Structure 1
Amino acid sequence: MSDNRGNEVKESVRRVLWRQSNGMCAICKAELSTGIGYRAPGPNVAHIVALGQFGPRSDNSLSEGDKNALANLILLCPNCHDKVDKSPDHFTRTTLSAYKVSHENWASTLRAAGQAWNARFQTVDFVNLPRILALPGGEAIWEVAKDVGIDDERSFFENGARSGLFVARVQPIFETLNTRAIPLNAETVETMVPGCLVSFEANMRSSSSPGSAGFSPSKAGRATYPSLRFALDRKLVSIRFDPRWLTTNTAFADLSMAEEEDTVYTGIGTVVGVTDGSIRLSALVFGKPMTDEVTLFDNLLLESHSKNVPRSARVDDFAFRPPKWLADSTSTGIISFNEVPEDQKTTVALRFNEDAVLPDQIERMSFPTLLRTTREINRNLSVSIGSELLFTLNQAGIRRGRADRYPSMNVAALVVSDFPVADIPILHAAMRIHAPIYLELVEVDPTLPSDQILYLRNMTPRYRIAGSRLFLISPSHHRDDEWIEEWRATKIFNSVDWDEPSNQEETG
């Protein structure tokens, strides 16, 4: 039986066989290695009917094309290959064909059991280039490797700067990679069997880090492969990886640090062993995931034109934060002004479903309620209105499985400065009654980077309410007479006028 290192079998056929067999021996189910320098499996592709005239199970009635066709090929490990060659009477053509069909059906069942897998990586730290090429979507990764000049007979480490170019190009490919995998979690951990393609994401520690002194990527062997490890439902999950396919120097350094502290890694791999207390995986790709916080910060950078964007922001900063006084009042059902000094002021943001409003509808709904819920003597309010950046957070939330936290809608905010803290409970309750598109009230915290960006920097005051009078703030001193007449016609305020620049400076 030929081991077919030559050109007898087309590379495309080899890859299909590899994929249909899940890269495993059809007899013993051992994981197979392509080795450096082979784009598709070489020594593991064997003929059921021998290619030569006098080989095991030879049949000279078949053409060379038929012998090199997928139906006559089986994926075997070297040990099983030797056994098959030495015992042709036992491993007959019918027997090997049955092994092939049974194994490929089994592999197909494992693949069908998975879910569509893709990943948003912050860093792509490991790509087993020879093995991942056999997966659906792997061709796109290989094309990038060729385009940037990766020498596949050398490790990524030995490819130098080209590896960095490779990572930058393949990162977005993994977001849409057409591969299926079973999520490895507490619900699926007891169903794992060798051959399963699984996805993982967890806090892990590295073992036998390749960043250790004296490590040589070119001399690494499977027996000494490093691994990532974490506990899952009383089982130890060990993810071994071939360090030749670590992508960058940073990946080496991060894994060395992961020996001392937990680090979140996400990726995909093949189950190669299962015992009562452990699950062993062989990694195909892994890296650090794009967290909600990183996604949020990237989106803020894109949306903000200011160069003074804070250097950190947390997703939780954008969640509904009930003001203290609102929380206290709603828990008892009784609103009391005695505990709050009348002169204590704050900034509040009223959030609305922007997809359901018409121009000026938010102001026309909110201003009468502001007048009813604040005492005229305390009323000197600066009002801004604008769209929040939550549409970018919606996308991040849905992508990370957080659609329940970020509803799929655009959100507008009416920001009111110098609002009496004691009047917050009344305002919230009244808005819920009188404004169907009202979502929630947020007390703006000027110490939070998120609030600085959304409410304090990117929204310009448009109105000032003093007592029962409304002052319009016109940008760039451009005054639209129709605007002021429209507001006078609403009869909401006793008077409507343009605000003077000196007043704007005082309220700003």
Structure 2
Amino acid sequence: MVSEIAHILAASPGGARYDSSQSDVERADISNLIVLCDRHHKVVDTQRAKYTAEALRSMKVDHEATVSRGQLYAMNAVGFAELEAVCSSLRLAPRVVSTGIETLVLPPGITEKMVANDLGDASEALIKMGISKTTAVEAFISFSERGVPGFSARLQQWFKAKYAEGILASLSGDDLFSFVCSAALDNAGVNRNELLEAAAIAVVVHLFEICEIFEAARAAS
């Protein structure tokens, strides 16, 4: 492991780009964190004139945009083979669907459930990508159930257990959603790629949509 969590604005006085006006909560927020290798962590903290807070934020935004584009393209190509790796069941040829993620309007039930679970922009982006594969995930689970009775229940139970694990670790909101997606990817084995990442997101979004994981939308008073 060579990655390190770096602070854009330092966590303590004397650190690189320290801002005394920041609160402790703001310093620990993901918006103030960036993942770097150990070598470049030292570089950005010693070359402070070059690597300003604005420069690091720009690097973070550009990289996250690149990753999001990769996830979007991969989501289009997710098929039964990738879903099998994530769900540990079956394989068939992949399917491709067209997308309109940028302009997609989520159904009211989904947006209400996002509010109930304090999900923000990061989770919304993943949900918008994953929602395009809901039919494929549902078909995969149905197909697997015919070959392995009880598969659907075991799959849901496993994800509920991972969701509970995140809750016990005091995770919430986007952090909890990301944790469940990561757990799904871990279940696919040691070989990781964009297709498997997209498949993991698709399965989590499907279970989120059918209310098997995360809190249901709060009833109107």
> Which structure has the highest helix share of the two?
2
Question: Do the structures match in fold with TM over 0.5?
Answer: no
- What is the TM-score when the length of structure 2 is the normalising length? 0.39
**Higher gyration radius (CA):** 1
